[in-house]
Amino acid sequence: MGEAIVVTSGKGGVGKTTTSANLGTALALLGKKVCMVDTDIGLRNLDVVMGLENRIIYDLIDVAEGRCRLNQALIKDKRFEELYMLPAAQTKDKQDVSPEQVRDMVLELKKDFDYVIIDCPAGIEHGFRNAIAGADRAIVVTTPENAAVRDADRVIGLLEKEQLPSKIIINRIRQNMVKNGEMLDIDEICQVLAVDLVGIVPDDEKVIKSANSGEPTVMDPSSRAAIAYRNIARRILGDMVPLMLLDEKAGAFKRFRKFLGIG
Amino acid sequence: MTEKQHIMIKGVKEGLVFLLDDKCEFAVLLDELQYKLEKTHQQLLTGPLVHVHVKLGTRQLGDNDKERIKSVIRSQGNLMVQSIESSSALLGGANAAPAGPHVITGIIRSGQTVEHDGDLLLAGDVNPGGTILCSGDIYVMGALRGVAHAGVNGRTDVIIAASLMRPTQLRIADVISRPPEEWMSGDATMEFAYLYEGSMQIDKMTQLFRLRNNPIKV
């Protein structure tokens, strides 16, 4: 029986889908059997980020409404043998599927996969309840902005009510801005949110580039964000990996990577 | 249900008063309360929000038992418990405080609200977007980053204390204050807010004795 992890944030645009795609891929890279589930019905993106859009035949709503079996809707990744995704429908609405239906699908997937990564839509309404229904734990993505931290806090509160343990990822950190005091720093955010930190991801232009080309960032080991996501995947598997040092120069950074045994 | 009635419900201007018998067993009382609300007094349960004052006679109850009464009444949609009083407590004055603050533990996160009648001690933080409402004093053993409102029923002699005072907003009775920059002392000492001549003041916790020894009447 695998584990289902929901990636959520409350606020939009903080990197839920990017995180889901990269974590899923990184876990597959580490040899795990992974299925990613896009629950953002009506605004599906995960397939685009993964570069699998043109392979979609059936989607989550088709499964919910019994037009196909769950297995038929799964799309196999083009890079990994054991990486799959269940796409959301683009034409329907979040109300067209119930939390119970999503939970049943996730339960079914957990039988076959080591990890089920659920990509949650922004907001805390029906779509959010769908996404968390089948999850065993949650990863809350936030950025070093007050609004994002506020929303993450709200979401953590809601997850606590559902008794889902949550951890946070702080995404898109710009170290030079943090240094100048123009951006919240990691300690400040952790103090407010008071949950475990599972990783930090530096802001990296390569993320945008790779999302546009349908190739998860994690595949490019020269990207710092890729290393950050790989570290997070290892932490999910239970490895102890030190937090990435953000303000190192390229030379020192390479040494650091060598020290971790990656890159 | 029982031959003798243990509960009387009276309508007053402010809402309803539940007079609870103080001789019978507590369990009997709870059963009858539930029975009355669910079976015989359903006309109370429709219509607008009604405030309920519970009078216990001479019976003394712990917070747990009070909470049980509250939850029975509250389970009926439109009834809101305003107070639970014993007559012996009434002897001490209309606003007699219970024997100490009610203690709760945890983080009040964005979007969450904690309400309490009496004094409240929170072991944990109030995050931005979180709210704490209290008819008496508020003590936060942690960081107060959200909104705290003490004296919601109009008491002006109450205080809001916090280990780390970084509120979005402080309210005492009907005075609302946004913390100006100079509040942010930056030191990690515990501070408290109080009303002095109708305006909000902040001071170090060590100064509280001055206020409480010579209560300021605003």
Query: Which tens digit of pLDDT belongs to each residue from A175-223?
Result: 888 888 888 989 999 999 999 999 999 999 999 999 999 999 999 999 9
Does B5 have pLDDT greater than 60? yes
Instruction: Using pLDDT thresholds of 50, 70 and 90, give the confidence band for residue B2.
Output: very low
Interior/surface letters B22-46, b for 16+ CB within 10 angstroms, e for the rest: eeeeeeebbebbeebbeeeeeebee
Q: CB B145 to CB A191 under 8 A?
A: no
Please, are residues A211 and A217 in contact by the beta-carbon 8 Å criterion? Answer: yes
Predicted confidence (pLDDT) at residue B120 exceeds the cutoff of 90: yes
- Locate B24 and state its tokens: 């019978």
Q: Give me the residue spans of the domains in chain B.
A: 7-91, 102-213
> Does B98 have pLDDT greater than 90?
no
Q: How large is the ipTM?
A: 0.78
In the predicted model, is pLDDT for residue B185 greater than 70?
no
Q: Please check the confidence at residue A170 and state whether its pLDDT lies above 70.
A: yes
Inter-residue contact B165 to B202 (CB < 8 Å)? yes
Contact A53, A47 (CB under 8 A): yes
* Chain A contact present for B156, CB below 8 A: no
pTM confidence score:
0.72
CB B204 within 8 A of CB B188: no
Q: Is the pLDDT of residue B144 over 90?
A: yes
Domain A3-260 CATH class label: alpha beta
Residue listed under structure tokens 């916090």: B162
Question: Cβ of B143 under 8 Å from any chain A Cβ?
Answer: yes
Mean pLDDT of A151-165: 95
Per-residue pLDDT, B119 = 94
Residue A163 contacts B, CB cutoff 8 Å? no
8 Å CB contact of A150 and B112: no
H or E segment to which residue A105 belongs: helix A99-112
Model confidence at A246, in pLDDT bands (50, 70, 90)? confident
Best mutation target among A11, A125, A142, A153 (most B Cβ atoms within 10 Å) is A153
- pLDDT recorded at residue B82: 81
With a cut of 60, say whether residue B94 has pLDDT above it: no
List the one residue out of B130, B113, B185 whose CA is nearest residue B193. B185
- The reported pLDDT for the residue numbered B31 is 84
Q: Which residues of A touch B110 (CB under 8 A)?
A: 150-151, 153-154, 157
Residue B145 near chain A (CB below 8 Å): yes
Q: Is pLDDT at B89 greater than 60 in this prediction?
A: no
The pLDDT of residue B91? 45
CA max distance for chain A: 55
> What would the mean pLDDT of A54-65 be, rounded to a whole number?
94
Worst-scoring range by mean pLDDT, A67-76, A185-194, B34-43, B62-71? B34-43
Q: Which of A180, A219, A186 is nearest to A202 (CA)?
A: A186
pLDDT band at A142 (very low <50, low <70, confident <90, very high): very high
Q: Of residues B44 and A204, which shows the higher confidence score?
A: A204
CA dihedral A200, A201, A203, A204 (to 10 degrees): 160
Q: Hey, are the CB atoms on B143 and A191 less than 8 Å from each other? A: yes
Whether residue A153 lies within 8 A of chain B, CB to CB, comes out as yes
Distance from CA of A130 to the nearest CA of B (A): 20
Residue B208: predicted pLDDT: 87
**Percent residues over pLDDT 90 in chain A:** 84
Q: CB of A156 within 8 Å of any CB in chain B?
A: yes
The CATH number of the structural domain formed by B7-91 is 3.30.750
Distance CA A124, CA B34 (A): 35
Position A34 confidence tier, pLDDT thresholds 50, 70, 90: very high
Per-residue tokens: A73:
């809707």
How far apart are the C-alpha atoms of B178 and B191, rounded to whole Å? Answer: 16
CATH fold label, B102-213 = Pectate Lyase C-like (2.160.20)
Instruction: Place A125 in a pLDDT band, splitting at 50, 70 and 90.
Output: very high
